[in-house]
Chains A and B, each alone.
Chain A
Amino acid sequence: MAEPLDWDEIDRYFAGELSEADAAQLRRWLMVHPDKAQVLESVAQALDGTIGVDDSGQSDALVSWDAVAARIRSEDEGLVLADVMRPAVSGRHLERVSSVHLETSIAPLGTRSIAKSRNIFSGQTRQRALWSVAASLVLGVVVMVLGWTAGVRHVSQRAAMSMLAYTTGSGERATITLPDGGTVALNVASRLEVPMDYMTGNRVVRLNGEGLFSVPHNSGAPLTVIAGATAARVLGTSFVVRHYATDSVTTVAVRDGKVAVGSVVLTANWLLEVGRYGVVSLRSAEPGVFGFATGVLTLDDLFLPKAIPELDRWYDVDIRLGDPELAKRGVGGKFAAGSIADLTAILELTLDVRVMRDGRVLTLMPR
């Protein structure tokens, strides 16, 4: 005869209301009735919808808390969230966030001068010269940090932890060396936050914008890059993460090695787009995706409304359409970092438009 489940007892068991002795007795009964145990397991899984949330743990919680903390803007309200303190430091390329200690191990190699000075038609000679300039500017940046730090000791009293935040404006790019020797080529209009305790295990960095990460292999704990609501985890690899405020998706593209994004493991030359509600697309990564790090922006035949934000950031300009009909035109190809005059020439040539320039504002008019 069948021995049916006692649902009243099951109810109290699941609710944690059975005595320890009764619970143990039920467990023993289930051991000799594996089919019934399977039923209960299936019910529990169906209620949880556990598929997809099977690797939760404290590490996930910590990463998640970091993401929450990064979203909070609460200094003025009195809640001290040390790792998200953002004192107003307008105009500074390198923001020192909250510590009084100087991190000489973190050497920012890029400054506004680097990207700004590179010319669309420049060759390697010019590039070498600029990197040389950049190297000489490192000392200047460090001095600037020291000077600014001295003025924010009151901030550090409120914050126990700290981070370094590197920012680039439109038209700027920079290469950042992480404490473990890894590098991040930061694209235009981007911000990277690196925790001060990075070398003691807190290898969670936050990115707003786009960066090409080159992380050394065998570097111990995985590096986690949080961009938007997406976290990418790696042990050692080279990959791009992109999430600008205007992007509806976070893009992760792998150049070599492996990167885990949620339950998806990306290998070399694959690109994943993650949207608000999960994976949007998975496709092969075109080489152009990684090109910004070497000064080349690649656009894949985008209509102007899509292309303009990219070009605005890349050249630090404000492109406007003088005629709505122009929105139907597309633009694509490779754009080397360069001057506004260079961009103007390219736009006039490829779009067959007249460009009216007023400072950094470029208005496109049909010919």
Chain B
Amino acid sequence: MSDEKDGGSADQTERGLVERLQNGDNAAARELYLRYYDRLRRFAYSYVRSREAAEEVVQDTFLALLERRKSLELREGLRVYLYATVRNRALKMIDHDRVVDRAEAAAVQDEVAPGMGARADAPNERIEADALAAAVARAIATLPERRRVALVLRWRHQLPYADIARIMGTSVAAATIQVARARETIAELIKGYTDRP
């Protein structure tokens, strides 16, 4: 992910690809898709918790980009546009009852899955690890969406606060506060695990 922060030549290359994309270059569209596919799918998945739904969000995001490529003004850059679009589409999708139900089922599954089939023979360490994972999952689940996404974008996608703010449609200061509060919440909720000798 360090390429995210390199700026310089990476950004220059991307700007060139975007320019070619807007001029109708198929190869550039493909290259950009391959560059962003995995991280956008992970980002979408953090919302929808369904592999198929995440895939759909990413594909729809790129289709929208391709359809509007000529008229689109990417003032904030392609990365911000793509993340913001994925977030909006994912939020829209999880409004749907079936996805909400599925996400809840997945969350429950996430909690029990690590020990399934092995719990009877698992050593204490394994059981503790499962309990820790469940506690962390619960802590993350308590975060308001804006705090969670700010933390996801900073910790898991290594985006600068300026981009996080643009994606969320807020100020840099507000994005910084969201991350700090998310950190505090998680640290407090899993204190029992982190403060052990």
- The stretch of B41-49, B73-81, B166-174 that contacts the partner chain: B41-49
A residues near B1, Cβ cutoff 8 Å? 16
**Bound: A82/B25 CA distance, A:** 10
Across the interface, do B24 and A64 meet the contact criterion of CB distance under 8 Å? no
Docked pose: A80 CA to B29 CA in angstroms: 10
In the bound complex, residues from chain A placing their C-beta under 8 Å from that of B190 are: 39, 43
Q: Are A56 and B42 in contact (CB under 8 A)?
A: yes
CB 8 Å contact bits of A32-51 with B (1 = contact, 0 = none): 00011011001111111111
A61→B154 CA distance, assembly (Å): 23
B55 & A229 in contact (Cβ 8 Å cutoff): yes
| 14 sample A-B contacts, Cβ–Cβ < 8 Å, listed by A number | A11-B179, A16-B2, A42-B133, A43-B136, A44-B155, A47-B46, A47-B140, A49-B46, A61-B38, A64-B59, A68-B63, A71-B63, A80-B24, A277-B96
Which of B's residues lie within 8 Å of A, judged by CB?
A: 1-2, 4-5, 24-26, 29-30, 33-34, 37-38, 41-42, 45-46, 48-56, 58-59, 62-63, 66-67, 69-70, 96, 98-99, 102, 106, 109-110, 113, 129, 132-133, 135-137, 139-140, 148, 151-152, 154-156, 158, 179, 183, 186-187, 190, 193-197
> Does A169 lie at the interface of the complex (its beta carbon under 8 Å from any beta carbon of B)?
no
Q: Which residues of B contact A68 (CB under 8 A)?
A: 33, 59, 62-63, 66
Q: Judging by beta carbons under 8 Å apart, are B42 and A48 in contact?
A: yes
Question: Measured between C-beta atoms, what is the minimum distance from B147 to chain A in Å?
Answer: 11
Chain B contacts for A74, CB-based, 8 A: 66-67
The interface residues of chain B lying within 8 Å CB-to-CB of A43 are 136, 140, 155, 186, 190
Complex Cα gap A44–B1 (Å)? 14
**A69 partner residues in chain B, CB cutoff 8 A:** 30
Give residues in A with beta carbon < 8 Å to B.
1-5, 7, 11, 14-16, 35-36, 38-39, 42-53, 56-58, 60-62, 64-65, 67-69, 71-72, 74, 77-82, 229-230, 262-263, 274, 276-278
- State in angstroms the CA–CA spacing of A121 and B104 once bound together: 52
Name the residue on A nearest B28 (C-beta): A79
Q: Tell me if A61 and B29 are in contact (CB < 8 A).
A: no
Q: A-B pairs with the 4 shortest C-beta distances?
A: A14-B155, A61-B37, A42-B136, A46-B140
| CB neighbours of B5 from chain A (8 A) | 16
A277 vs B54: C-alpha distance in the bound complex, in angstroms? 9
Give bound CA distance, A274 to B52, whole Å: 9
With contacts A36-B194, A43-B140, A72-B63 taken as known, whether A64 is within 8 angstroms of B186 at the C-beta atoms is: no
- When chains A and B are docked, how far (Å) is the Cα of A327 from the Cα of B151? 53
B49 lies within 8 A of A61 (CB): no
- If A16-B2, A64-B55 are given as contacts, then 10 extra A-B residue pairs at C-beta distance below 8 Å, sorted by A number, are A36-B194, A39-B193, A43-B136, A46-B140, A47-B152, A49-B46, A52-B45, A53-B41, A229-B59, A278-B50
Residue of B nearest to A43 (CB): B136
Flag if A278 contacts B186 (CB, 8 Å). no
Minimal Cβ-Cβ distance residue in A for B194: A5
Contact A47 B26 (CB under 8 A): no
Q: Assuming A14-B154, A61-B34, is B52 touching A230 (CB within 8 A)?
A: yes
B34 — which chain A residues lie within 8 A by C-beta? 58, 61-62, 65
Q: Are B59 and A11 in contact (CB under 8 A)?
A: no
If A64-B37, A72-B63 touch, whether A277 touches B197 (CB-CB below 8 Å) is no
Given A43-B186, A46-B136: A16 and B98 interface contact (C-beta under 8 Å): no
Does B183 lie within 8 Å of A2, measured CB to CB? no
Report how far A109 CA is from B49 CA in the complex, Å: 44
